[in-house]
Structure 1
Amino acid sequence: MPIDGYKDLGLQETILKTIGLGKTFKGFSAVSDVNLDVTRGTIHALIGPNGAGKTTCFNLLTKFLEPSSGQILFNGLDITKERPAQIARRGVVRSFQISAVFPHLTVLENVRVALQRGLGTEFHFWKSGNSLNVLNERAEELLCEVGLADFAHEETLNLAYGRKRALEIATTMAMEPELMLLDEPTQGMGHEDVERVTELIDRVAKGRTILMVEHNMKVVSSIADRITVLQRGSVLAEGSYQEVSNNPLVVEAYMGTHGGDGA
């Protein structure tokens, strides 16, 4: 949906905002004074060299780590003190970490388990598996959306690596996230899988908001609407790929050092 469409619905243009976000470990500043604005309905990439603080930043946003300073606002509400489960219930869901993929279940069964949360039956272990059949239709829709319809009844451990990642995106989408956080979605993939997952992220982003940490600059340049560059835990630059890639500070700190493809 175009940004103007969100305005028409009375929704805030900024879905996620950090103000002076910081994290210190025994005197070492891993993240310092990070001011981040993620616009609703966009793909926002967080990039930077190794040790730049990208993963720490993600851990702060999902409260896997407690911030040492600053605030985190989601839809204008201060969520800085909230627990990870509360933040997930608000609609901030981190893929590849919160979403669980069970290797000995089928692809369809994995998505169905993720959908259980909507029924409020996730801890009803004594119930028959047949009680989940009502979720099959929605699970099949999600598998179609990520291109896994033909693998619905395949045992998950038999999937190729890139398709497992596609399944993880489907299980994350099953939780109806308002904001999806993707942590290194193409890490460890071959060229063909990278292209498939990049196209998938671009497709599922329609009508959603995605914040992702990504090391592959080809992926970032092809789908990111806005990019924030971190260096030594602080924001070095922000803008479109064109603006960031032409910034001399970024070229020196990141592109030049890593040939444009490291993280």
Structure 2
Amino acid sequence: MPSPPIQGPRASGGASTTAPILETRGLSKDFRGFTAVDDVNLQIQEGHIHALIGPNGAGKTTVFNLLTRFLPATRGEILYRGKSITRMRSHEIARLGLVRSFQISAVFGQMTVLENVLVALQRPLGTSFHFWKPKSSLDSLNERALQLLEQVGLREDAHRVTAGLPYGRKRALELATTLALEPTVMLLDEPTQGMGAEDVDRVVELIRVAAQGRTVLMVEHNLSVVSRLCDRISVLARGRVLAEGDYASVSANAEVREAYLGSEVSESATAQHEEV
């Protein structure tokens, strides 16, 4: 049985009176006449773990690509701390503290686990690709890198070549490299995709730890993960926001169930709502 949604100071359950840290207004994306994202309005509260869920093709990853400017918006506005970032470049947005992961683990397979984190730690220093510098120049970053690996349970793998890691540990390493960039807002795209139950449980705990003092927006298909982690959920269907609220209210919504009808996710949502 999945754990119930987090209760406590972060998950108030009611509407927040504070300004959102990240917001979209009328966000839309057209592809040659097809509207993939249609008038999406999101408000992500600071300190929350906010999930973006929906059937395949609902537009979730496209929203992520718009938020991080991997794609330009056709219409609408994106605000970070009340200021428009709609026309900023991807690297400028990352420097503000909005850092994303991807559906497929994005690590350097032929480097060691420690070297992957060291590369990420160099980015804010502007020395990311200065591989010609002596290895001793990275010594000052080693302590921080090892701390990050300890945080995600990979310290014992520090000198292991990344390609040989099991999939779940590669995703944990990706989380460490994301944390190395000192994000204010972490955007996690399918962080548990392709994992067995044991790895899923481990990554859930890692996300919970990593979210302390940060805001997380995540795309996730596993509704057990969503129910255990998230303060608020936005449901997309056909590029539009269909429903929004906490897990209990969203999973009980008739339109949400209809959108998932006939899929594994629908059955999972029904079962989990009954358990919660």
TM-score between the two structures when normalised by the length of structure 1:
0.92
- How many pairs were matched up? 254
1:63-142 equivalences under 5 Å are 63-96=69-102, 100-142=106-148
| Matched position secondary structure for 2:37 | strand
Q: Name the structure 2 match of 1:43.
A: 49
Residue 199 of structure 1 corresponds to 205
SS in 2 for 1:17: strand
> Distance between the aligned counterparts of 2:127 and 2:257, measured in 1?
51
Q: Is the 8 A contact 1:2 1:41 kept in 2?
A: no
Q: Secondary structure at the match of 1:14?
A: coil
Alignment of 1:217-236 (within 5 A): 217-236=223-242
Task: Using the aligned pairs only, state the percent identity.
Answer: 63
Quote the Cα distance in structure 1 between the aligned partners of 2:144 and 2:230.
Answer: 28
Deviation of 1:100 (Å): 4.6
Q: Deviations over 1:131-182 (max 9, x none)?
A: 1111001001111111111111111111110010000000011001110000
Q: Which has the higher mean CA deviation after the structures are superposed, 22-31 or 99-108?
A: 99-108
Structure 1 residue 99 displacement after superposition: 8.6
Q: Which amino acid aligns with 1:248?
A: A
In the TM superposition, residue 258 of structure 1 has moved relative to its aligned partner by: 3.3
* 1:258 maps to amino acid: E
- Offset, 1:130: 1.8
2:254 is aligned to 248
Residues 107 and 156 in structure 1, CA contact (< 8 A), matched pair in contact too: yes
- Counterparts of 1:13-32 in structure 2 under 5 Å? 13-32=19-38
In structure 1, what residue type is equivalent to 2:57?
G
Q: Does 1:167 align with 2:173?
A: yes
Question: For each residue in 1:166-204, what CA deviation from the matched residue of structure 2 results, as whole angstroms up to 9, or x when unmatched?
Answer: 000000110011100000111111111111111111111
| Alignment partners' CA distance in 1, 2:60 and 2:117 | 28
Aligned residues: CA RMSD: 1.9
Moved over 6 A (4+): none
- Contact 1:52 1:232 survives alignment (8 Å): yes
Q: Decide whether aligned partners of structure 1 residues 176 and 2 sit closer, same or farther in structure 2, where only a CA change above 3 A counts.
A: farther
Counterpart CA distance in 1 for 2:68 and 2:200 is 25
Structure 1 contact 99–171 (Cα < 8 Å) conserved: no
Describe the SS at the equivalent of 1:237. strand
8 A Cα contact 1:99 1:172, kept in partner = no
Q: Which residue of 2 is the match for residue 9 of structure 1?
A: none
In the TM superposition, residue 122 of structure 1 has moved relative to its aligned partner by: 1.7
Letter paired with 2:33: G
SS at match of 2:226: helix
Deviation of residue 223 (structure 1)? 0.4
Tell me the residue number matched to 1:211: 217
Native 8 Å contact 1:245 1:255 kept in 2: no
Summarize deviations over 1:49-91 as a string: whole Å, max 9, x none.
0111101111110111110000000111100001111111111
3-state SS in 1 of match to 2:150 = helix
